[in-house]
């Protein structure tokens, strides 16, 4: 893994938690695969992909490497050395940078891992395309919606009113 130079120490009561954020390359596909499959199993309601979409015949090194070789900035967070979360920034066309694939493992929730991941993506987004960082979030995922609001994202409305699964656009300046 290639480091992005980010290490955070958070004091949680009497415990110091060390959060490290690392940028992935195509060579880190196994690390990405491990966390992505955990994320899809843990929170299937939060992603456009399903676990089954990435298993069986679809679970190939070539596909995982291809995902990391795109127009994205892919990160993994560790807490005290243990993989704990992931996020990506995606540049597509002329629009703003989008935060995608955001997930934090249950054991690391509430320890500011998500904050650290979003902060790193936001820094990268500002270098790519100053303006806004946008995301889509499932409306029923109240914890995620509250988190994004807490860190400065504002609601921009429903992505597709005719969709079966209601997602909302949110954005914040970068």
Q: Which of 124, 125, 102 is nearest to 114 (CA)?
A: 102
Buried b (16+ CB within 10 A) or exposed e, 99-124: bbbbbbbeebeebbbbbbbbbbbbbb
The CA distance from 132 to 134, in Å, is: 6
- How many Å is the maximal CA-CA distance in the chain? 49
pLDDT tens digits, one per residue of 101-117 = 999 999 999 999 999 99
Q: Does residue 15 carry a pLDDT above 90?
A: no
Contact 133, 174 (CB under 8 A): yes
pLDDT tens digits, one per residue of 67-113 = 999 889 999 999 999 999 999 999 988 889 999 999 999 999 999 99
Q: Which of 105, 83, 79, 98 is nearest to 24 (CA)?
A: 83
φ, ψ for residue 133 (rounded to 5)? -105, 125
């Amino acid at each position: 893994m290639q480091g992005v130079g980010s290490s955070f120490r958070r004091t949680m009561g009497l415990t110091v938690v060390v959060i490290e954020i690392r940028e992935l390359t195509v060579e880190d596909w196994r690390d990405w695969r491990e966390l992505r499959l955990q994320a899809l199993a843990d929170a299937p309601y939060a992603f456009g992909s399903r676990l089954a979409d990435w298993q069986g015949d679809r679970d190939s090194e070539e596909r995982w490497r291809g995902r990391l070789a795109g127009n994205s900035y892919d990160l993994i967070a560790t807490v005290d050395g243990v993989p704990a979360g992931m996020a990506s920034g995606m540049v597509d066309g002329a629009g703003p940078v989008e935060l995608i694939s955001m997930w934090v493992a249950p054991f690391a929730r509430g320890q500011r891992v998500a904050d650290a991941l979003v902060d790193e993506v936001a820094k990268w987004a500002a270098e790519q395309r100053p303006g806004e960082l946008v995301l889509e979030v499932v409306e029923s995922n109240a914890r995620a919606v509250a988190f994004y609001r807490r860190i400065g994202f504002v609601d921009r409305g429903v992505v597709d009113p005719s969709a079966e699964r209601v997602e909302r656009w949110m954005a914040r300046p970068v």
